[in-house]
Structure 1
């Protein structure tokens, strides 16, 4: 068979359902080989959109999403999405065509050293220089992408190699299992937790990747320890149902939960990725006892001095520590949760216009079932969603908070709908992030994927304006104008809705969610609430 056919067989062997990408001259043989494969190729309108789709698909399923581009500009367009997957620890394998090996040694049309270019933003970057190594390279790429901490891998595929005849077979798929935690580390962790005066759990995205949310909930409930979560770990402990859930941490400004860190003497970090929320923000004193429970050893950081590291299968670690540790009495951090719950509901009947962020979130949560999926873009709305959108299940509010790139929401929603076609999917995005990848509306329409795009419209880069006003008292070059989003939606054949009074928001959301198509909602938002929140947090008196 041709090397391109062997490559496709290797992808089939890995259980790949979809490849997101754009065909090009240098991957013609690969595209032809896919014609005879059950793998479905999703033709996107920009390579960045393809990479974001693979990123979110990998994060939701735990299996590496795959994206494909041609050489040169096609490959460089993948970079933002690939970097996002790598820093968010989403499993992804990116493939790019390349010129023939006969012209890689010299200046040549569209030729860049892609293997080297992708090296700093992936766990593994390789070039196929001979067809017989394809089974090894593909297996290694997927193994590393899907092994903790999960991330991105890249394969460069020269066009002449794709044409060669080869007689090889895919390698057996064997992904390593997590080791058992060390008994002495488990004992020491249990001892520190038992002797703590006011322990606190910080749960990160590693809990989601390990599918350890039930073990985390059982651990917290048995030992009566409150749980704060990072943005990317929303839902690991059901917020509405569990009084131990303190909500999300990660705002640069101080929040209620920061009081919990200030008063805690032992902080148990479970599946915590430092890339999300730097330790100097929650541990500036560097004097607390840190218990690190994760699949990999702790990162070295001056503000993260680990007293004991329990490394191995997170599920097993939590069960074993929980069996040995002594439960705590009382829950002195309950006022932190009560303060946040009160704030979440304080604007549910607010009818001022433009719509306040708190009201947008309340109506969105009301319109959706608890297992429906929200893909959140990056901007001021991300901070509000992370703080105030209640989640009862993990992976129901997808936030990029490692690389944190704008433009992920619309392509991410397409991937979510492909992964979970039975659930409602909403892309929550600012007007700026929306227009960065709005071309993928055509992809969703072509694939007949019903989903809702909720645009928080403020005619500017709202998060940057928020920070400028806080720091300098005036904005600088952050305002712009927008097209008519209703006409824009209709030009794709999608539906468009404009919110002109607050009372219309909830029924419009409900109607759009019932539409059997792509629906775009243009919702003017009052970001004057940003500065009010900053002032409130700055003046906050700790409620415990």
Structure 2
């Protein structure tokens, strides 16, 4: 068959459901082949958005998200989203077109070395030169993307190669069984847990990727050990849990950091150091660390594991629980499960909850960040999805949005690229049409991919976009003021958000009072086939709380 047809057949065999992207002259053969495929092509308005959509698809499903761009500027536009997916360990495959292979050695129209460009922002990438290699290359790209730690891969398909013929069939795939932990390491970990006075479970991004939530919840419940999560692991353990101290990840501004600094043992499960440096909680190198992840620990001065278990997370947790139960049967006097929650941890849990709820009845306008977040939380079901963009609002969402299920509060926290939430909401709504999907973004990040409102309107997706309006890049301004006493180049003007929404065929609101917000939010939820944009002015006067935990007691 034609090489582009073979490529598409290989994608079908991998279970690809959607491809997000833009057509171009050099990937036209591939697009023509897609016309005869069951794979749905989602036309976007900018390639960066295609990458963000593939990123979110790869986070909330067990599959690889796929995005497509042409050569040159199409490929370069993908890079921010691909770098973000790779650093956040999201399963993504980027496909780019290329000029005829006989022109690649010299100066030619839009010719650029995309393989070198994508190399540092992917786990693996390759340019197809032989049509008979397509099945192996595609299978390899998917396998590497799915292997822990997950990440992005990239395949380049030159225009002339896409037109050639091949008689090779797609490579069959078989399930992969992951390894179990070594019994001696399990015993060593259990000994440390039983000897500990103030152990803590630190839940990281790896637990979201592998859907390990039920096992980790069971581990926390059966051991009685308190827990907390990074930004990207929100919901792995429910914030309703009495012994869950909620979210950490804002350096010195986390109240929960007090607990981390007082813990004698940290059980780090699926912890990605890119999210939150261990220097913040182990600067004195006094803690015993039990590392549980699919891969070995990153080398870091402040993260020297006492016990390092690189194996399937679910197998490992089950093995530890089994060994703990065996120890309990042999010695009934040991403190397992831990009956008493350390008094300090009780106080921290109560204070975290109090801080979240402190402004829930505040009707002042512009709206307080906590009030905005608690109103959104009250309006949504436990399994509805909120996506945060990057900016000051991201910090407030991470700190104050109660999350009860995994993958229901998505926060990019490795590469931290602005412009993530709107395209991410589109992908989420495609995957889960029955759920309410809310993108929360600042007025800075919203306009970075505002063109995708047309995509959402065309696809008749009722995503809700809440724009936090303050007329500036609030987080940058905050940090400049904190360090220099003044800010520089952070202020801008905004469009009329209502007219902007209407021009895209969406529904638009600009809230004028805090009392109005929950009513408009309920109205927005009634939309069945139109995106809704809600702009609301936000009072950021207490943003210092994001940098200094003691700014407001």
TM-score (norm 1): 0.98
1:528 alignment partner, one of 538, 541, 546: 541
**Offset at 1:310?**
1.4
In 2, distance between residues paired with 1:211 and 1:233?
A: 11
Residue of structure 1 equivalent to 2:362: 350
Residue of structure 1 equivalent to 2:304: 305
1:518 aligns with 2:531: yes
1:126 aligns with 2:138: no
Residue of structure 1 equivalent to 2:337: 327
1:463 aligns with 2:462: no
**Offset at 1:346?**
1.0
1:403 aligns with 2:403: no
**Offset at 1:175?**
4.7
**Offset at 1:328?**
2.2
**Residues 462-494 of structure 1 deviation map (CA, whole Å, 9 limit, x = unaligned):** 110111111111111100001101100000110
**Offset at 1:62?**
2.1
Q: Is the 8 A contact 1:189 1:310 kept in 2?
A: no
In 2, distance between residues paired with 1:321 and 1:365?
A: 35
In 1, distance between residues paired with 2:43 and 2:283?
A: 47
* Aligned 1:144-155 pairs, distance under 5 A: 144-155=144-155
Q: Is the 8 A contact 1:377 1:408 kept in 2?
A: yes
What is the SS of the residue equivalent to 1:111? coil
Residue of structure 1 equivalent to 2:269: 270
Residue of structure 2 equivalent to 1:164: 164
What is the SS of the residue equivalent to 1:489? helix
Residue of structure 2 equivalent to 1:361: 373
**Residues 107-146 of structure 1 deviation map (CA, whole Å, 9 limit, x = unaligned):** 1111111111111100111000110000000000001111
**Offset at 1:537?**
2.7
Change (3 A) 1:331 1:404: same
**Offset at 1:538?**
5.3
In 2, distance between residues paired with 1:536 and 1:57?
A: 35
Q: Structure 1 unaligned runs (5+)?
A: none
TM-score (norm 2): 0.96
Residue of structure 2 equivalent to 1:107: 107
Residue of structure 1 equivalent to 2:398: 386
**Residues 266-322 of structure 1 deviation map (CA, whole Å, 9 limit, x = unaligned):** 110001011110111121111210100000000000000110011111011111112
Residue of structure 1 equivalent to 2:88: 88
Residue of structure 2 equivalent to 1:20: 20
Residue of structure 1 equivalent to 2:73: 73
In 2, distance between residues paired with 1:454 and 1:237?
A: 26
Q: Is the 8 A contact 2:250 2:546 kept in 1?
A: no
Residue of structure 2 equivalent to 1:475: 487
Q: Is the 8 A contact 2:98 2:157 kept in 1?
A: yes
Q: Structure 2 unaligned runs (5+)?
A: 325-335
**Residues 189-222 of structure 1 deviation map (CA, whole Å, 9 limit, x = unaligned):** 1111111111011000111112111111111111
Alignment: residue pair count:
539
What is the SS of the residue equivalent to 1:141? helix
**Offset at 1:329?**
3.3
1:207 aligns with 2:219: no
**Offset at 1:421?**
0.9
What is the SS of the residue equivalent to 1:428? strand
Change (3 A) 1:346 1:293: same
What is the SS of the residue equivalent to 2:403? coil
In 2, distance between residues paired with 1:78 and 1:10?
A: 22
1:42 aligns with 2:50: no
**Residues 329-352 of structure 1 deviation map (CA, whole Å, 9 limit, x = unaligned):** 311112111101111111111011
In 2, distance between residues paired with 1:252 and 1:124?
A: 32
Q: Is the 8 A contact 2:235 2:404 kept in 1?
A: yes
In 2, distance between residues paired with 1:21 and 1:174?
A: 29
Structure 1 ranges of 4+ moved more than 6 A: none
**Residues 12-40 of structure 1 deviation map (CA, whole Å, 9 limit, x = unaligned):** 00010100000000011101000100001
Change (3 A) 1:3 1:533: closer
**Residues 25-77 of structure 1 deviation map (CA, whole Å, 9 limit, x = unaligned):** 00111010001000010000000000000000110102100000000000000
**Offset at 1:253?**
2.5
